[in-house]
Amino acid sequence: MKPARLIDIAQLAGVSEATVSRVLNNKPGVAEKTRAKVLATIDHLGYERPAKLRPKETGLVGLITPELTNPIFPAFAQTIETLLARNGYTPVLCTQTTGGVHEDDYVRALLDRGVDGIIYVSGQHADLNTDPARYQRLREQGLPIVLVNGFIDTVDAPFISNDDVASSELAVRHLADLGHTEIGLAVGPERFVPVVRKRMGFRHAMRDIVGRDDIDHLIAQTLFTVEGGAMAAQRLLEEGATAIVCGSDLMALGAIREIHTRGLRVPEDVSVVGFDDSLFVSFTEPPLTTVRQNVTGMSEAAVLALLEEIAGSASRRGEHIFRPELVVRASTGPAPAAPTATTSQSRRNGGG
């Protein structure tokens, strides 16, 4: 890079050499528009800016998420990345896929790059079988971390979570108000913290709102996928469920597909409630009733907590829980007069 010549810069920028000198020395008294023009001219001519005028390098923050096929994770990633960038940090996105790079390997790579902190979204911390030592070691090293949707009480860090117990209660109350008593729950594997909490909320709501304790047959645990939702719906429909509460919007789509495959209608024969309020669910047929996670609020809380940790002013540790919101659309309706299984059989036999 060549040293700057005032006369060259001044002539091309259309300003005086004195103005160029003031800009180069970062002195006041120059309009921002003129200052920007001078700096752009310096860059255009290939001159080297003084160190004080060079863009400051931003710190790095790791963002670890599960696979991005579930729309809720890109929503979290985009919101968190935007908030980090606004605060002068460059996010490094690490997505976990089945058979791909493990979370621990991502963390080692992030540490090698000298990240200032890590935000985890539904990572290993959400798995009850995980070893908390991986997070305890990072805290002992002084690395700021924030963990979203999962909780380990032995890890000294901020946790940001959706209220999964309330999520199930909102869905069950809505369906009970529509006259449903045969309400099924379709969720993922039991080892995940959000699943345990959704089951707990479902049991409490079925007991306290619907007045039922005999509900083991109305809980189906598969995978948080379209196929998992279809499989769960198959089991629940065979148990006579007239409504299905799903652990994700993807599962809800699978449930609706299985209901249609059986010649049944949504919501006339079976009501379906999703979870997340993904971007596309208001455009499904029918538009999906779902429980909305507060992605924006949770992301803001996660970034703020991390920034406080980085700045050395420790944020409030423990779990910060966000209340979800029920979004009612067209996939839920009054309970049918006849049991679903009877209706289904009637249609197979050519009935109305």
Burial of 25 (0-12, 13-18, 19+ CB in 10 A): exposed
Tokens (6 digits) for 65 = 């998420």
pLDDT at 43: 79
81 and 172: one domain? no
Q: Which amino acid is at 267?
A: P
What strands lie across the sheet with 271-276, from one edge to the other? 219-221, 183-187, 243-246, 271-276, 289-292, 325-327
Say whether pTM exceeds 0.85: no
Residues 229 and 342 in one domain: yes
Residue in 122, 182, 170 with CA at minimum distance from that of residue 148: 122
- Residue 20 is part of a domain; what is its CATH number? 1.10.260.40
158-162, strands of its sheet edge to edge: 89-95, 59-65, 117-121, 145-148, 158-162, 318-322
- What does the pLDDT profile of the chain (352 residues) look like in tens digits? 455 678 889 898 899 999 988 888 888 888 888 988 888 888 788 777 776 676 555 699 999 999 888 999 999 999 999 999 989 899 999 998 878 899 999 999 999 999 999 999 999 999 999 999 999 999 999 999 999 999 999 999 999 999 999 999 999 999 999 999 999 999 999 999 999 999 999 999 999 999 999 999 999 999 999 999 999 999 999 999 999 999 999 999 999 999 999 999 999 999 999 999 999 999 999 999 999 999 999 999 999 999 999 988 876 788 999 999 999 999 999 999 865 444 444 333 444 3
Regarding whether 342 and 310 lie in a shared domain, the answer is no
Token pair 């652990």: residue = 247
If one counts the domains in the chain, the total is 3
Name the burial class of residue 35, with classes exposed (0-12), middle (13-18) and buried (19+) by CB atoms within 10 angstroms of its CB: middle
Residues 337 and 204 in one domain: yes
Q: Which domain holds residue 185?
A: 164-292+327-348
The pLDDT of residue 1 is 46
Q: Say if residue 131 is in the same domain as residue 174.
A: no
Residue 346 pLDDT:
39
| Residues 202 and 303 both lie in one domain | no
Return the axis-axis angle of helices 32-45 and 6-13, rounded to nearest 10°.
Answer: 120
The reply to whether 242 falls in a domain is yes
Q: Quick check: is 1 in a domain?
A: no
Dist CA 95 CA 108 (whole Å): 14
Q: Are residues 47 and 119 in the same domain?
A: no
172 and 64 share a domain?
Answer: no
**pLDDT of amino acid 352:** 36
**Domain CATH for 237:** 3.40.50.2300
Who's near 25: CB < 8 A, 6+ residues apart? 50
Reported as half-sphere exposure (CB side, CA atoms, 13 A), residue 276 has a value of: 23
Dist CA 178 CA 243 (whole Å): 10
State whether 120 and 215 are in the same domain: no
Whether residues 155 and 239 fall in one domain: no
Measure the CA–CA gap between 70 and 77, rounded to whole angstroms: 12
Residue whose C-alpha is closest to residue 175's, from 16, 61, 291, 261:
291
The answer for residues whose C-beta is within 8 angstroms of residue 153's C-beta and 6 or more apart is none
74, 115: one domain: yes
C-alpha to C-alpha distances, 267 to 85, 89, 194, 336, nearest whole angstrom: 43, 46, 26, 9
Is the same domain home to 142 and 170? no
The whole-number pLDDT of residue 285 equals 93
Q: Give the β-pairing of 289-292 and 325-327.
A: antiparallel
CA angle 285, 322, 71 (to 5 degrees): 35
Q: What was the pLDDT predicted at 349?
A: 43
